Structure 1
Amino acid sequence: MPRVVSIYLPDLPTDRIRRADPSLPAEQPIAVIARSGSRRWVAAADAAARKVGVKVGMPAAKAQALFRDLMLVDADPAADAVALERITLWALTQYSPIVAMDAPDGIVMDTEGADHLQGGEQLMVTATANRFRAKFLTARVAIADTWGAAHACARAIARETVIVPPGKTGHAVERLPISLLRLPDQIVTDLRTLGFQTVGQLSATARAPLALRFGPEIGRRLDQIYGRMAEPIDPIRTPDIVEVTKTFAEPIGAAETINRYVAGLVTRLVGELQRRGHGVRRTDLIVEKVDGTRQAIRAGTAKPSRDVTWLTKLFRDRTEKIEPGFGIERLTLVAVMTEPLEEVQKASSLVEDQTTDVVPLIDVFANRGQRVYRVMPVASDVPERSVRRIDPAAVAAGATWTQHWPRPVRLLPRPELVEVIALMPDHPPVSITWRGKRRRVKRADGPERIFGEWWTRDAEYEAVRDYFVVEDETGERLWIFRSGDGVDPATGSHRWFLHGIFA
């Protein structure tokens, strides 16, 4: 069943201003001012401005009187629209084949065929909110069965993420205000005059009188929010995006027929990419059905590719997920992410290449929804900062770790507290209790003292860790440390932690 994600950007105008000028301090309140003749009012206010009492709709003079240092910026709807388009195009490359602007302050996307690549719905909406926050964009993310329901829930529920379970749309929207039905403002005002406040009240009213007075718009929006009427999402496109289309005079549905036409589309797409000197990293197959619904499949590659055979295979492995229904009337193949690609000879009849190319294996794993990455050394003494994840097909930087002390093959996501018996200040533990199991220490090596990185944050100015490699009675080797030097409380809590496990 299709699932729709709505990403609401409530502070888009002020977020755009902050992103354009990173020097603005976070505590600086910003208000966007709209004008109509001599009238000036607050069209948008960021969190800092709302904290001092500034509200949307408030006269500009009153807002400035509330806080003398309030930064006033003239509204620029055109710049906001351009920013929203850029964000939507970025989301198209990151999340789903079907992404569109939900103007003026949101994005909508159909996650069917792509949510498994994000680890499921819960991880997807959480990661989406986190990534928008990392880009200094305030976002609320909601997922529901319909565009209308996701749109309304993202704007009505004051949480960063909202998940409406499949089949629970009616219960989720019945108490939401009618202003979230995406109706014209005048119709909303007239409905409120008649006493309608919630979607549920409006839905329970006979359609004929409403249609007679207001036309078909109310019935259409109600049917869309409840899923009784399809609301296709037209994906965002730009002239730079390469796409090829095949329209059928008679609907198709057989798997072998779909695969044959997909292979033809891949050949045409690669031909266009070759003319541009580009290779594709992410390709979307948009399936348009006779009943007006769409289904999408995404295939990605670790490196830019123009290999017709390989791209066709990636889609062939996934076309079994296509549900043709009453038939497919159009197939569209879209290169949503491309990069420059130069032709390189990979093999020669004169020299036998001993290097195994793992990129195809990476592609297979990634298109099954598995997350593939490599780790790269980072110049840091603090163990959890000494590595970072990079693209699995990235060119190796040639750097390596310089520590002379042994390091565990498995580093825990975060150090886990353990109970130990040890003589202070420099003796290793004689026993360890980890996750409720007591272990006697047979051998130990250490300490290796690691100092905090005071240039990273002030709290690490005097921080010290003393690491030990210990072996228990079963032969398992653990990497543990004491927070502090065992003497001065300023260097740490003197509690013990398990940080890694050796092979």
Structure 2
Amino acid sequence: MPRVVSIWLPTWPTDRWRRKAGSAAPPAETPLVLVGRQGQKQMVMAADAVALAAGLRPGMPATTARVLVPNLVVHQHVPEADAEALDRIALWMMQRYAPIVATDPPDGIVMDTSGADHLHGGEEMMLTSIAGRLKTSGVSARVAVADTWGAAHAVARFGGRRSVVIPRGDACPRILDLPIAALRLPADIVSGLHVLGFLRIGDIAEMPRAPLTLRFGPELGRRLNQALGRLAEPIEPIRPEEIVRVRRAFAEPIGAAETIARYIGKLVIALCEGLAERGLGAKRLDLICYRVDSTMQAVRVGMALPVRDARRLTRLLTDKIETIEPGFGIECLELAATLAEPLADRQTITSIVEEAVSDISGLVDVLANTVGERSLFRMAPVASDVPERSVARIAPMSPATGASWPDHWPRPSRLLARPEHIETMALLPDHPPAWFSWRGIRHRVRRGDGPERVFGEWWLGDQEMHAVRDYFRVENDAGERFWLFRAGDGEDAATGSHRWYLHGLFG
């Protein structure tokens, strides 16, 4: 069953205008509307959140809006620019989140994320990432995921929440209480249904179809069936001309895994030839299977570094064949390098003196496409004396940060996520504790070494101006070694609370 994400940008025209204006845009608390001509009148075509809160609405005469809100900022609406910018956002979504992405004019984007959500930590994390990234870019968004385009579209616009995940098979009860306008019906049909007393989707879902079809035409039943999953609604993905892609149509539909694997190998070879002509390497491949029932199955694989090795790419794609549901057959395969970067040809030089450089990027690619990119990382040192700030997670194949691990004092093999408070007794100011109690267990200290003094990073905040930590390495009767610190120098109360904490364990 497919999973469809609908993204609604409620104030898209004004958000786009503010992004383009940059520093010249009015403050966020100033109401803004975009106007356009309808016949002989200037009408409000779009309004930002502040203008909407002030009572302005699209379709209102511009003169009335100026009277109601004296400090109103008015600019011309350019729908063509909105459409072009929406296409660019859809392309960015395709390159980052899912292979099947299309615009949902005038203010939405739709994506089929089947088989791709695990690469982003699951559906909930994926929706949070989408909404967060758009908000960071100055674009308000509401996001929903469901089994059908119609259900996701309805909940995103009328669900009342920033992000909503509708579990599989739960779309029908979720949308029955939504207004009829959520079905993407023309305004005249919606108003006609309101005249008859139908307000919710559930009201018409319980009615016989024949009388409604006779009065309002087939559009009403079609939209309702699409939302409830009774009628397929394929998404035609965007495919920019600059993307390297190859396509293979079949006279007879295919469905066997071996056949699909064989043609994947042929498509990869053709794609690598196209990439070589442009001097590119693929970092993300999308395989789209067009089925005979007018639906699509998509497979996405990503690479840590640009790749143009046909055998390696074929293996990554064929490992995903088990996720493809051919149904009654696949009539066309399309392979596209949706993300590619320059890749120069390298000459292999063999020498009896040079050392072989190990390349683990192939292993990284296999693991990342199995468990997801977010689950794969390596630790890298950061230039900071504060232990919890001296390490960071980075991508497995990221270049070296230039920082080195501290070696002037031993560091524990395991650092706790947060220092944990302990009860202890120690002779101030420079002696290790005689004993400490951690997580309900009392440990008697046999040996101790320290203190190692760590100062706060004063440039980060006033509270760290005088902050001090004194770290000790201690060993208990069982030979276990711990990394403890005291907040403060043991004398001046301004340097810390003088409470003790456990921060790490030595292997």
Provide TM-score, normalisation by structure 2.
Answer: 0.89
Q: Are 1:11 and 2:11 counterparts?
A: yes
Alpha carbons 1:283, 1:300 under 8 Å: kept: yes
Per-residue deviation at 1:490? 5.3
Q: Structure 1 pair 21/381, CA: closer, same or farther in 2 (3 Å)?
A: farther
**Is the contact made by 1:285 and 1:298 (CA closer than 8 Å) also made in structure 2?**
yes
Where does residue 424 of structure 2 map in the other structure? 421
1:149 matched residue in structure 2 = 151
* Alignment partner, residue 34 of structure 2: 33
**C-alpha separation between the residues in 1 aligned to 2:55 and 2:407?**
54
What RMSD in Å do the two structures reach over aligned CA positions?
2.9
Distance in structure 1 (CA, Å) of the matches to 2:34 and 2:261 = 54
Question: Alpha carbons of 1:409 and 1:11: their partners in 2 closer, same or farther (altered >3 Å)?
Answer: farther
The CA deviation at 1:435 is 4.0
**Which residue of 2 is the match for residue 375 of structure 1?**
379
Amino acid at match of 1:101: T
CA contact (8 A) 2:41 2:61 kept: no
Cα deviation digits, residues 64-110 of structure 1 (max 9, x gap): 67776655444333332222222221111221111222222222211
Greater CA drift, 95-104 or 269-278: 95-104
Q: Does 1:400 align with 2:404?
A: yes
Partner amino acid for 2:416?
L
Query: AA paired with 2:420?
Result: L
Change in 2 beyond 3 A, CA 1:260/1:42: closer
Alignment of 1:4-403 (within 5 A): 4-20=4-20, 23=23, 28-36=29-37, 37-41=40-44, 43-46=46-49, 53=54, 55-57=56-58, 71-348=73-350, 353-370=355-372, 371-402=375-406
CA change 1:350–1:427 in 2 (3 A) is: closer
Q: Report the secondary structure of 1:292's partner residue.
A: coil
How far residue 316 of structure 1 moved from its aligned partner, in angstroms, is 1.6
**Residue pair 1:33, 1:60 contacting (<8 A) in 2 also:** no
Q: Does the aligned pair in 2 maintain the 1:416–1:498 contact within 8 Å? A: yes
Q: What is the percent sequence identity of the aligned residues?
A: 53
2: distance between equivalents of 1:45 and 1:448? 55
1:444-483 Cα distance to aligned partner (Å, 9 max, x none): 3334333333433444444444433333444333334444
| Distance in 1 of aligned mates of 2:5 and 2:159 | 14
| Structure 1 counterpart SS, 2:233 | coil
* AA at the equivalent of 1:96: A
- For the residues of structure 2 that align with 1:69 and 1:494, how far apart are their CA atoms? 55
Matched residue type, 2:122: G
Q: CA deviation at 1:18?
A: 4.5
Show structure 2 runs of 5+ residues with no match: none
Which deviates the most, 8-17 or 90-99?
8-17
Q: Which secondary structure state, in structure 1, belongs to the residue aligned with residue 363 of structure 2?
A: helix
Deviation at 1:192, TM superposition (A): 1.6
SS in 2 for 1:155: helix
Deviations 1:351-370 (A, max 9, x none): 66422211111111111124
Shift of 1:199: 0.9
TM-fit CA distance, 1:40: 4.3
Unaligned residue ranges in structure 1 (runs of 5+):
none
How many Å apart are 1:272 and its aligned residue?
Answer: 0.8
Greater alpha carbon shift after TM alignment, 95-104 vs 490-499: 490-499
Structure 1 CA distance for aligned equivalents of residues 502 and 22 of structure 2: 39
Matches of 2:209 and 2:249, distance apart in 1: 38
The whole-number CA distance in structure 2 between the counterparts of 1:402 and 1:54 is: 60
Tell me, yes or no, if the aligned pair for 1:288 and 1:329 is still in contact at 8 Å. Answer: yes
Amino acid at match of 2:114: E
The offset of 1:488, in angstroms, is: 5.6
Deviation digits for residues 150-190 of structure 1, max 9, x if unmatched? 11112222323211111111111000111111111222222
Instruction: Give the number of equivalent residue pairs.
Output: 500
The verdict on how the C-alpha distance between 1:255 and 1:443 changes in structure 2, with shifts beyond 3 A counting, is same
CA apart distance, 1:268: 0.8
Q: Secondary structure at the match of 1:124?
A: helix
The secondary structure found in structure 1 opposite 2:101 is strand
Secondary structure of 1:404's partner? coil
For the Cα contact (< 8 Å) 2:33–2:51, is it kept in 1? no
Give distance in 1, aligned partners of 2:147 and 2:96: 21
**Secondary structure of the structure 2 residue equivalent to 1:101:** strand
The whole-number CA distance in structure 2 between the counterparts of 1:145 and 1:30 is 37
- Could you tell me how far 1:434 is from its partner in structure 2? 3.8
User: Which residue of 432, 449, 457 corresponds with 2:453?
Assistant: 449
Moved more, 75-84 or 475-484: 475-484
Distance between the aligned counterparts of 1:14 and 1:440, measured in 2? 66
